[in-house]
Amino acid sequence: MAKFDYDLITIGAGSGGVRAARLSGSYGARVAICEEDRVGGTCVLRGCIPKKLLIYGSHFADHFQDAANYGWTVPEPNHDWMQLIANKNAELDRLNGIYLRILRDNNVDLHEGRGTLVDEHTVEVGGQNITGENILLAVGGWPTFPDIPGIEHAISSNEALELKELPEKMVIVGGGYIAVEFVGIFSGLGVEVTEIIRADTVLRGFDEDIRFALDEEIKKRGINLMNETVVRSIEKTDSGYCLRLAGSETIDTDLVMYATGRRANTQNLGLEEAGVCMRDNGSIVVDECSRTSVDHIYAVGDVTDRIQLTPVAIQEGHAVVETLFNKNPIVVDYADVPSAVFSTPPIATVGLTEEAARHRYGRVDVYISRFKPLIHTLSGREEKTIMKLIVDPNSDRVVGCHMMGMDAPEIIQGIAIALKCNATKAQFDATVGIHPSAAEEFVTMRDKRPDPEDADGTE
């Protein structure tokens, strides 16, 4: 008789948890998965997918405007927000159904309810206890809010995806990828948007040239971007809300959204009782194999606060299962992980920023190109594209690649393969470009930007 009910219990049915559960089941393991919400997790239900669908919807405003110079006569367009939300929700229902089928097809038992650890082998879910030889924590993260007066009046990205109507004016507080993506969504749909950030510009941690290029594009679109600004309080008024800023300035608005960070969803999970170590921010400490401080308890995805990207969570879950049930020990490689920000225009990046490259290598070669993409030579839109390569001069290896502009995520996905293969600048240069395309610029940049040290020496 088996000592445990299951070989693996996964708590959390998001991308990482579902991948681990269904793969374990396919290898013949007895698997259970616990989920208090619908199956799909942040990416499918509250993040990547619904957000990207709304981004697509918002871009039609540009398409209608740009069509005139291409000879199209377009009637004055009208947008039905609730139709977009209904269609988005129908797609999420479809995806949820696919995830449920995947679990069934791989003999994974779904336990509906919040799974909590009773001890290191026991999970309480839905009023019953189940036991597992191994336990995987894949509970993701949740939006956080600062502790300021009136913060209860603000919404997060979760609620922004389900608004019953669009406001005329709104304030979005935050400068990270979630904030700038929603700035693009709501501005594109005709909302008067103000974005408030504490930093000098958006997307802290991204390459400086890309950050300031997006700052400029945001302002071009008539968005009120307030840099180095702090909100002190939010007050409910008869007509909406009033934000009091540091100093004496105030802003009146119809809606306030905060996108200032996310926290690991580990509260009341029973981790302390099971002996699982956490950091001060609530995230779970794991080793390179995603193992926690308890040998047979693992954690993957945003809850570990490593790289908070859906494909990374999927790889982490996959690696745990290969190690446990397929005699194929795998360690995830976190070097050169590509990422994208679906801002307007979008950003994509892989490898090191210029600052990080200089810190690692000292002197680096930088190639950068700014241009108006071909489509806008006729559309008349003053949107620019920026592309940047960072090269280690000692090895000639391309160590960073960054782009802001139309199709940036699609282009950088291919470039990421090259960086993973340690491609050199000479190999980039030897590659024939596809013409006319924006992507060809990455293989035609020949002139290095003057190094700051050289410039300082000539002054």
The candidate with the shortest Cα–Cα distance to 51, out of 184, 168, 217, is 184
- CA distances to 46, 197, 243 from 248, rounded to whole Å, are 36, 17, 10
Which of these is catalytic: 153, 296, 318, 435? 435
**What sign for the dihedral angle of Cα 176, 177, 178, 180?**
positive
435 catalytic? Reply is: yes
What CA–CA distance (Å, rounded) separates 120 from 135? 8
Nearest-angstrom CA–CA distance, 44 and 226: 31
Which long-range contacts does 414-421 make (Cβ < 8 Å, 24+ apart)?
A: 414/439, 415/338, 415/350, 415/442, 416/336, 416/338, 416/350, 419/336, 419/350, 419/351, 420/336
Q: What is the rounded CA–CA span in Å between residue 39 and residue 61?
A: 33
Query: What number of other Cβ atoms are within 10 A of residue 126's Cβ?
Result: 12
- C-alpha–C-alpha distance, residues 311 and 334, integer Å: 11
Q: How far apart are CA 445 and CA 255, in angstroms?
A: 45
- One-character DSSP codes across 128-141: EEEEEEEEEE---E
Q: Determine the longest span between alpha carbons in the chain, in angstroms.
A: 81
Asked whether 317 and 303 are in contact (CB, 8 A), the reply is: no
| Beta-carbon-side half-sphere exposure of residue 244 (alpha carbons within 13 Å) | 12
Phi, psi angles (nearest 5°) of residue 193 = -110, 135
Coil, strand, or helix at residue 285?
A: coil
**Both tokens of residue 346?**
């979008």
Residues tagged active-site: 435
